[in-house]
């Protein structure tokens, strides 16, 4: 049982989801946290500077630090990754998303530390095989970009391991949005970019559809609020259900038009959308539809309702983006 005196490691702790998870752990009374990340980026400092934690460890020094300090660790959340879907140099993803994750897994296996790690819905590619978190389809998935490939390669590797942590859970995050993504640039959510476009010009530019079966703005994604993501992570740590790879979305795909309408409503303005051509460098690797099958997570006992798109976007826009506030 992981309790408030337990020592927890969060990798990616200066990033979007990792910093929100750290805040939620603090909120629940867990302050013995070791933060692991690349702390050289000044723009990520607000994500962690007010959190309660034991120490920070540079990502590339983490395993050496473990060897030298031999800390007692009760749980690891491995959230850190290279998440840039426009980074086509696979060696970058191979190092951070595959090889680094293997080291985390092996350390947890040897030292009997429960592990939750971040996978991704990018592993599903075009969705030819659906969006079911069934282990049997993982070897056959065909991701559309190097990031998705790297996440799926680690998932495949995990499923072949004879030595594993006492508990291990991979979470296939769908389209996560919310506070603390300010530093993500091009990879920040459409809500973040929409809010800034509204403030600047009063109009939001969305990608045209380049497929005849989708109208402009009607591309569909499973958008999940980061507050739900971190609640699920905490629940899994506490309840420790069956090990495996689980989807983490809302289970309901929504359109980009709906997303932008909710953003305009959050700033109390009328909706104005302009459709523009999608950049050619992402056109062939663009997902037009994602929707998490959520039965597996529900079957192990997680019953909380997820934020609706409208409620999640409204909270994000009114309480965070409008005040440049961090979670």
Q: Which residues are catalytic?
A: 147, 184
> What distance in Å separates the CA atoms of residue 271 and residue 260, rounded to the nearest whole number?
8
> What distance in Å separates the CA atoms of residue 191 and residue 31, rounded to the nearest whole number?
31
> What distance in Å separates the CA atoms of residue 173 and residue 119, rounded to the nearest whole number?
6
Q: Angle 226-239/16-27 helices, nearest 10 degrees?
A: 60
211, two tokens: 């497929």
Please name every residue paired with 253 in a beta bridge, in sequence order, or none if there are none.
none
> What distance in Å separates the CA atoms of residue 51 and residue 30, rounded to the nearest whole number?
11
Extract the runs of DSSP E, i.e. beta strands, from the chain.
Answer: 8-11, 33-37, 55-58, 75-78, 115-120, 168-173, 175-177, 204-207, 220-221, 223-225, 244-248, 254-255, 273-276
DSSP-derived secondary structure for 173-220 = E-EEE-TT-GGGGGGS-HHHHHHHHHHHHS-EEEEPP-STTS-TT--E
DSSP letter assigned to residue 309 = H
Cβ atoms of 144 and 287 closer than 8 Å: yes
Give whole-number Cα distances, 99 to 60, 103, 300, in Å: 12, 7, 30
């Amino acid at each position: 049982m992981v309790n408030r005196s337990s020592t927890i490691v969060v990798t990616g702790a200066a990033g979007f989801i990792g910093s929100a998870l750290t805040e939620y752990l603090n909120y629940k009374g867990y302050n013995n946290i070791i933060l692991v990340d690349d702390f050289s980026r000044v723009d990520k400092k607000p994500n962690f500077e007010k959190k309660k934690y034991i120490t920070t460890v540079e990502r590339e020094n983490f395993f050496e630090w473990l060897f030298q300090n031999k800390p007692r660790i009760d749980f690891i959340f491995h959230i850190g990754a290279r998440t840039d879907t426009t980074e086509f140099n696979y060696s970058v993803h191979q190092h951070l998303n595959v090889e680094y994750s293997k080291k985390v897994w092996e350390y947890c296996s040897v030292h009997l530390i429960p592990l939750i790690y971040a996978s991704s819905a990018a592993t599903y590619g075009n969705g030819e095989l659906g969006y079911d978190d069934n282990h049997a389809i993982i070897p056959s998935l065909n991701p559309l970009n190097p990031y998705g490939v790297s996440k799926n390669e680690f998932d495949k590797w995990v499923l072949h391991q004879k030595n594993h942590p006492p508990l291990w859970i991979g979470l296939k995050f769908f389209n996560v949005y919310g506070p603390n993504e300010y530093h993500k640039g091009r990879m920040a959510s459409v809500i973040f970019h929409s809010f800034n476009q509204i403030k600047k010009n009063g109009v939001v530019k969305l990608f045209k559809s380049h497929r005849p079966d989708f109208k402009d703005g009607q591309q569909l994604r499973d958008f999940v609020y980061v507050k739900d993501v971190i609640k699920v992570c905490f629940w899994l740590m506490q309840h420790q259900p069956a090990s495996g790879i689980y989807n983490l979305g809302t289970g309901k795909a929504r359109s980009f038009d709906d997303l932008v309408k909710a953003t305009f409503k959050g700033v109390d303005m009328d909706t104005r959308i302009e459709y523009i051509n999608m950049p050619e460098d992402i056109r062939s690797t663009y997902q037009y539809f994602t929707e998490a099958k959520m039965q597996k997570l529900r079957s192990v006992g997680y019953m909380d309702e997820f934020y609706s798109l409208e409620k999640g976007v409204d909270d994000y826009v009114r309480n965070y983006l409008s005040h440049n506030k961090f979670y």
